[in-house]
Every structure is written in C-alpha cells, then in structure tokens.
Structure 1
Amino acid sequence: MAIRRNSFINLAGAIAGLALFAALTPLYFHVIGAERYGILGIIWVFLTFFAAFDFGMGAALTYRIANEARSDIARQADYFWTAMAISVPVGLIAGGVLFALVGGGFGNIFKLTPAISAELFHSALPLFAIGVSTILLTTINGFLIGREYFVANAVLGAIGPALSILLPVLAALLISPSLNVLILATLAGRAIMVLAGILVSQFMALQGARPSISARSARALANYGMWMSISGLIELAASSADRFILGVVAGPAAVGYYTVPASVLARVMIFPTSLGTVALPQMASRSAEEEAILTGKVIAMVAMITPCFVAGEFLAEPFLRLWMGPAFARVATLPMQLLLPAFWMEAMAAILYFRLLAQGRPGTSAAVAAAILLPYCLLMYFLVDAWGVPGACLAYMGRNLMFLSARVTVTRSWRLMAIVVGPEALSLVVALAICLFAWPAQPPIVIGIVVVLAAIALALKRRPAEFDAMVRDFWRPVSMHFARPAPGDAGGNPGG
C-alpha cells in the first residue's frame, strides 16, 4: 500500500511539472532561438553534474534520518543544518568551476557567435550563484525524502522546473532574450526554491527546532555521502555526455533539436524511479527468492507503460508538429522515434539498478557505468559526426542497451527479463521498424492503430495483479466522492 501511495504522489508531482514544461517550452524555444536554447541545455548538463557531486549530502541525509533519527527531531535538525553547512562550500566550488568554464573560453569550444559569447561571459557571476543553489536544493530534497514528506517534495519538484522556464520566458518577453537575462531569471527561480525548501524543512518537518551543527554528524554524513557521490558522478557522466559531445561536434542548435524530445521522454522515468525508490527497502529485507519475485512484479508494473511508447512511435510527428511547429517536427521526428525505445530500455535498467542497491552492491553499479562510459562517448562522437542528431539518438540507444545488458548480467536476470518483458519489447521493436520503413513519410494510420491496440491488448493480458490493485486504489476515492450524496439530498436521508 505504501509503495503504491508514495509512487502516486511522486507521479502526480512529475505530471504537474511535465504539463507546465509542455505548455511553456514551445514559447521559450521560439523566443530565444535554437542556439541559446542549446547553450542553456549544455549549461544545465554541467549543473546536473554538480547536483550529483554534492558530496552525497542528499543521499546521506535520507539514509541517516530514516535509519537513525526517525523519531528524534533534535538529531534531525543537527543532521539537516550540518549537511547544509557542508553543502555551502561544496556549492561554492561547483559555482567556481562553472564560472571558470564560462569565463575561460566556453564560447570557443562550442563555436558560438561573438554576440552569444559576450552574453555568456556576462552570465558568469549568476551561474556561480546557481551552482550554490543547485547543491542546496539536492540536500533539501534528500532531507524531505528521509522524513517521508513526499507531498511537499513533489510540490517543490513540480514548481521548481516550472519556475526554471516560466521566469526566463517572462524575462525574454518583457526584458531581453539575451543569455545573461535568461540566466538571471533562472537564478531567481532557484533562489525561490531554496528559500521555500528551507522554510518547509525548518518549520514543518523540524517543527522550528533550534538549528545546530556538529562534527559527529559531519563525519557520519561524509562517510556515507562520499561513496554515493563518487558512484553518482560516474553514473551521471555516462548519462550526460550526449549533449556535450553533440554540442561540440554538431553545434548548439543541434542540441536544441535533441534536447526537446529527450526532455519530454525523460519525464517518463519518474514512474520506474518512483516504484524502485519505494520498493528498495522491501527488496533489501527479503530473501533472495522473495527479492527476485518482488523485482519481477516491479518490472512487470513498469512494462505496463509499453503501449505508450508504441503509440509514441506513430504520434511523434503530429505531436511535435502541433507542439513545436512543422519546421521543428521535420528535424526532430526521427530523433524522437529513435529515443522512445532508448528510454524504454532505460526504464527497465533503472529497476535493475535498484536491485543492485538492494543486494548491497553500489560498487558494482559504479563499475558498470565506468566500463560503459568510454565506449559510449566514442560511439556518440562517431555517430554524431556521421548522422548528426539522429546519430546521437542511435548512440543513446546503444548506451541504454549496454546498461540494460550489463545490469541484467551482473544481477543474473536474463530469464526474469525474458519472461516478464520479452513480448513487450518485441511490440516496441515492431513499431519502430514500421516507422523506419516508412520514413520520411508517416506509416498509414490504420497500421498504427492496429499495432497500438495489439500492444494495449498484450499489456492488459499480461498485467500483474498489483496493477489492478493500483487502479482500485486510484478509483476508490473517486467513486466514493461521486457516490456521496449532496447535503440536503433526499436520497441520502432515510427519513426524508
């Protein structure tokens, strides 16, 4: 019940953020242009690196509070403010690195025009502050998860990305679309989120407890956080090389055409991540046989979204045309169709990542990522050089295939994956093959409808019992709401 409830909360926050992202991105892209959008996409990659290399304070807070200080508010306050104190100098280092990158010839690396390079140079100081706020936000996020404040965390998680787009859009429309103005507006959004997170943590979660900092808490947090940070940095390096390499080889405009469909599809990852996060403690506490059964159920739940990926293959062009315009759709349709199976594989690999953590093997996960990083970067470079944006998508597909295969191998899950998601994988391969065969035209609509209906029927026929339970959990309060008689309704008064 807790797994389903908490997954619902995380999913609701992600959907709200996705809706705002979808509404504002077309305006944002067209107002600032492909080059500026691509540069911002590359900068956010660096910021994502810094968020992962937060000295593990977010993950350490989650672990220490959930396992050691669950009922001790004073100890929680000590952990929280100690982690925040550690995060400030770490954030200053991250901001300094970003400052050096921007002020040290960032424009020359990505072949920017002189005007855009000047705008970027004038954005260096705000980027310094954004680096600090990014680290603080990851720390606050870890604290709220440890306290199981999933609703507050989901609200902040939905509002944060919206402000990151809404405020720059308003600044571009009302002031200027230059990079220095856009980054200042982004900094304003981050500052609002940091302040809101601190207020929620201090006055809701900690009930106004006196802030304190201790060396003991610092040692406990650092011992756990250091290894998590190293592991997370390796994982993120393997996840974020695409935009950097694409920007260097094909230019920042190509990054924009790659980032928009990739950003949309990345939102799907909240579903497997939510399930894996809340299932992790139960997976870790069970016997090997019971853990394998639970893992299979979680993977089967994630596989229920396969028809959405199948439908996406046929709807990519009309979706992008209506959302971003015909010119954008002509460039980005094929990349989106190639990215759909890539993100499907990433969703399945995510559950196996949580299985490794449940088995007490985070080092194995880091070793897998380290082994894949160099081959992936080489593959990305050569395919981008040969085919541009579609080549980047093929390389990303290859990356996720390597991740999935490696995690299946080290967890010995080949038989499990073949039984649980083999037919679903085949339906997605068929859909992609049909679209590639018809390219550059679109497949006949009748064929698309038949394939999508077949994928839906397959998913429903193979659905796990937990899916029906989740539907009941969702439908029960809705049906009770509509079944409840209105005040004064004679039908609800037996004596009326």
Structure 2
Amino acid sequence: MRTSHVSWNLFGLGLPLLIAAVTVPHLLSALGGQRFGLLALAWGLIGYGGALDLGIGRATTQRIAALRDGHKEREIPDVLATATRLTLATGGVGMLLIALAAFAGAGRFVHAGEVPQTEIRSAILLLALALPMQAVSATYRGVNEAFLRFERITIVRVLLGAANFGLPYLIALRTNRVDLLIASLVVSRGLALVFYRLFALRCLTSLGSRGKYTGPVARQLFHFGGWFTVSSVVSPLLVQADRFFIAAILGAAAVTTYVIPYEVTVQTLILSSAVTTVAFPAISRLLHTDPEQAKRLFNRWLKRVLVVMVVGLTVLAMILPILLTVWLHKPADPASVAVGRILCIGVIANSMGAMYFALLHARGKTRVTAIVHLIEVPLYAGALVVLVKYFGVEGAAMAWALRMLFDTACLKVLSKEAV
C-alpha cells in the first residue's frame, strides 16, 4: 500500500470539493433555497444509486485482487463479465422503481411550493436514468481499484466532480428549471461510465479473453455481496436520510440550511475514503499471504487518519463561522454553524468507522456490518423524527453524529478478530 496511491485518491476526491466551493454559493444565489434544496436531494439520490450494484462492485475488487496474486488470472475476465451483467440488471430494476414512484406522485412528499409538480416529476424520471449508470460504474471502478490503477480513477473523479457542480452552474446562468439541472447530472454520469469501462478493459488487455457470464462466478460474487447487499442499500440510505426527513418535516428550504455545513464538514472524510479505497485491496491480499503485515498496515494507517481528522475537525469547528461567511458572501446562519460543529463530532467517528468497515470486508465479514446497519435503521429514523421535530436542523445533526458514534463503536468491537 503506497502513499502515492493514497495521494492520487485524495487528489481525485479533493479537487471536486474546490470546484464545489466556487460554484455552490453562485448556485444558491441563482436558484434560491427551495430549488437548491431539490438539487441537493438529487445529488443525494444519485449517490445512493451506487448502492444498486448490491455489493457486486466491492466483491469484484476483492475477487480480482485475490486472483492477481495466484495462478488464476485467466478467470478475471469472467469475473468482470458476470459482475457487469448483474449490476446492469439491478440498476435497471432501481430505474423502474424510481420511475414508477414518479408517476405515482412521489414528488408531492417534497414541500417545494415554488416548483411545479410537473417539473419535479420530470426531474425524478431523469434521475432514474442515472441509477443503472451508477451501478455498472461501481463494477468498472472496482476493477481499476483491484489493479491499483488509482491514477485512472482520479482522472474520472476530477472530471465528474467538475461536471457535478460546474454543469448545473452553467445551466443556472440561463434557467432555474430543476429538471434541466438534473439532466446535466445524468449526462455526466453517462460519460463517467464510458471512461470507467475504458480504463477497466485496459487492465485486462494482457489477458486476451473478453470473458463470459458464468453461474459459479455469480455465486462467488453473491457469496461475498449477499450480506453486503444489505449494507450497500441501507448504508447510503442512512447517510442521505437526514436531508429527506428535513425536507418532509421542515420543508425544502431547510435542507439548504443543513446541507451547506454538512457538505463543508462531511467532505473532510475524503482523507479516510482515500485511505480505505487503497487499504481494502491491499489488506485483502495480505490477509492471504501475510496476516501480521496486514495487521501492522491497518494499525499504522488507523492512527494516522485519527490524528489528522481530530486536528483538522477541531480547527474547522473553530473557524466555521468565518469560513461560511467568506464562502457564501453573507453572515453565517447561526443554525448552520451549530449544525456544522455538531457534525464535526460525527465525522471524526465516521472516519474511524470507515477503517474498521474496510478491515471487516477485506476479511470477508460482510454479515456483521450488515447486521449493524439493520439495527441502526429504526434507531436512526426514530432519532431523526424526534430530534428534527424538537430541535430543527440542529436535531438532524445530533441524530447523524449519534449514529456515527454508535456505528464506529460496534465496528471496532467486531473487528477485533478480523486480523
């Protein structure tokens, strides 16, 4: 596990944040609170679309990483072909479900009186198109991760990050129609899929074969991804649930008050994400060849991430009012500042939890993480309803931070036997 691999990932995750820092204030000013809130919901739903690979992308990374160190490299094309067909099917199902929800009037559950329901429905239908793209992209990205081609992933992430914020910004200069803003997100996901596929196929050039779908490989992938399926569906839902509860209880405008400090604080998790993306395939291989080295590798990076996150989030909590004022070109909303500071606590816990999560999955222990997430669902939903009702957006931040503390504590206990 090289530091350069982590650096590539950090660059790929960090540069889009700089683009967001420039464009988000202009988007907020051009769109207004309700329409920007709907755009934020769209970002969340598209992010959730990656979960529709049902763990197959993660299983692909682990399986190919293991095959690379053995004498079975010729099986890799079959793994990719099988995984691609599976994720295309699951993404297609998700697309149909979202489309049906749109026609059934799901847009009425979002309180955005300034936006016509026809516009909201068109936006939801466009979002449905992005879901299979996200699901299949996860598989192709997993191939690149297994081959440690992080520089290629970085290229796509930078382009996607630029499009994710830049295209809506350019459209907002001419119109504030939500469906047109969402259309730009769909186009960018389609282009990202093309690049992920191109880079993944380049990894397999030396193997010659294109691969084919096989039942045994599908069973192997589902064996790993079976319980991870639960996590891959539930975990992103838990991550994004706060803004949807806020929209339903307080209205779309309140989402903006919450999502601005949320993006500032939670995006600092790019550090732990950069580390865990590299650590997962590295630890997966070492657990088969040198378990002690795997343990030392994990502990070394866990300490590094903890120190950096504690120092960084402490400083961020202190300067948050100034940062929001400078960024948005107006005095920081006290509610947003409070939300951000509460979230800082949860972010530190989440960075640790992500490390334990990667360790458990490298060992193949997807069942235990899925059970933890299932336990969290009713607890978190109940906490959101109560805390948002009585404390507003600050209550949502409290619920989010408490869930992260609970999640990390559980994963730490369960990971003791992983190495």
TM-score by length of 1: 0.76
Which of 387, 394, 397 is the equivalent residue of 1:390? Answer: 394
Does structure 1 retain, via aligned residues, the 8 Å contact 2:228–2:367? no
CA drift of 1:149 comes to: 1.1
Deviations 1:347-399 (A, max 9, x none): 12222223333554321222222222211211111111111111111111111
Match of 1:299 among 293, 298, 302: 302
Give the counterpart letter for 1:272 in structure 2: S
CA RMSD in angstroms, aligned pairs only: 2.7
Which has the bigger relative contact order, CA under 8 A and spacing at least 6?
2
Stretch of structure 1 that moved more, 210-219 or 392-401: 210-219
Taking the TM superposition and a 5 Å limit, the aligned residue runs for 1:67-106 are 67-68=66-67, 75-106=75-106
Q: Of residues 325, 335, 339 in structure 2, which corresponds to 1:335?
A: 339
Q: Distance in 2 between matches of 1:244 and 1:234?
A: 15
The 1:291–1:205 alpha-carbon spacing in structure 2 relative to 1, beyond 3 Å, is closer
Q: In structure 2, which of residues 408, 413, 417 is the aligned counterpart of residue 409 of structure 1?
A: 413
CA distance in 2: counterparts of 1:346 and 1:124, whole angstroms = 30
In 2, Cα distance between equivalents of 1:44 and 1:251: 17
Q: Which amino acid aligns with 2:301?
A: V
Deviation at 1:103, TM superposition (A): 2.7
* Most deviating of 177-186 and 292-301: 292-301
1:283-298 paired onto structure 2 within 5 Å: 284=287, 294-298=297-301
Alpha-carbon distance between aligned partners in 2 of 1:157 and 1:5, rounded to the nearest angstrom: 17
Does structure 2 conserve the Cα–Cα contact (< 8 Å) formed by 1:383 and 1:394? yes
Q: Which residue of 1 aligns with 2:139?
A: 139
2: CA distance between counterparts of 1:177 and 1:204? 42
What amino acid does structure 1 have at the position aligned with 2:160? G
Q: Which amino acid aligns with 1:171?
A: I
Structure 2 residues without counterparts, runs of 5 or longer:
none
Q: Paired residue for 2:319?
A: 315
Three-state SS of the structure 2 residue aligned to 1:188 is: helix
1:400 & 1:105 partners in 2: Cα distance? 33
1:376 to 359, 380, 393: 380
Report the Cα distance in structure 2 between the residues aligned to 1:402 and 1:222, rounded to whole angstroms. Answer: 28
Deviations 1:220-266 (A, max 9, x none): 43443333222322333332321221111111111122122222322
Q: Residue 74 of structure 1: CA displacement? A: 5.8
Q: Which moved more, 1:400-409 or 1:179-188?
A: 400-409
| Aligned-partner Cα distance in 2 for 1:396–1:360 | 27
| Residues 302-335 of structure 1 deviation map (CA, whole Å, 9 limit, x = unaligned) | 1222221111112101111111132554441121
Paired with 2:154 and 2:381, the residues of 1 have a C-alpha distance of 33
Structure 1 gap ranges (5+):
414-496
Letter in 2 for 1:377: A
| Contact 2:78–2:214, Cα closer than 8 Å, also in 1 | no
Deviation at 1:119, TM superposition (A): 0.8
Single out whichever of 216-225 and 125-134 deviates more from structure 2.
216-225
Q: Once structures 1 and 2 are overlaid, which stretch shifts more, 67-76 or 302-311? A: 67-76
Kindly indicate whether residue 56 of structure 2 is the aligned counterpart of residue 53 of structure 1. Answer: no
- Given that 1:271 and 1:302 are in contact with CA atoms closer than 8 Å, whether structure 2 keeps it comes out as yes
Q: Once the 2 structures are TM-superposed, how far is the Cα of residue 341 of structure 1 from its aligned partner?
A: 1.5
Q: Distance in 2 between matches of 1:284 and 1:65?
A: 14
1:156 is aligned with what amino acid?
Answer: V
Match of 1:178 in 2: 177
Partner of 1:232: 232
Contact kept, 8 Å, 2:141 with 2:200, in 1: the verdict is: no
Looking at structure 2, the residues matched to 12 and 124 of structure 1 have their Cα atoms a distance apart, in angstroms, of 31
Percent identity between matched residues is 21
* Residue 482 (structure 1) aligns with: none
> Is 270-279 or 68-77 further displaced after alignment?
68-77
* 1:123–1:82 CA distance, 2 compared to 1 (3 A): same
Shift of 1:163: 0.7
1:27 Cα deviation from its structure 2 partner: 1.5
Residues 387, 81 of structure 1: CA spacing in aligned structure 2 closer, same or farther, 3 A cutoff?
A: same
2:362 and 2:141 map into 1 onto residues whose CA distance is 21
TM-score where L is the length of structure 2: 0.89
Cα distance in 1 for partners of 2:374, 2:268 equals: 25
DSSP 3-state at the match of 2:12: helix
Find the counterpart in structure 2 of residue 256 from structure 1: 256
In 2, the alpha carbon distance for the partners of 1:52 and 1:226 equals 13
Find 1:348's aligned residue among 342, 346, 352: 352
- Equivalent in the alignment of 1:199: 198
1:42 deviates by: 2.4
**Distance (Å, rounded) in 2 between the aligned partners of 1:12 and 1:341:** 24
Q: Distance in 2 between matches of 1:288 and 1:211?
A: 33
Higher Cα radius of gyration: 1
Instruction: Determine if contact 2:98/2:125 at 8 Å carries over to the other structure.
Output: no
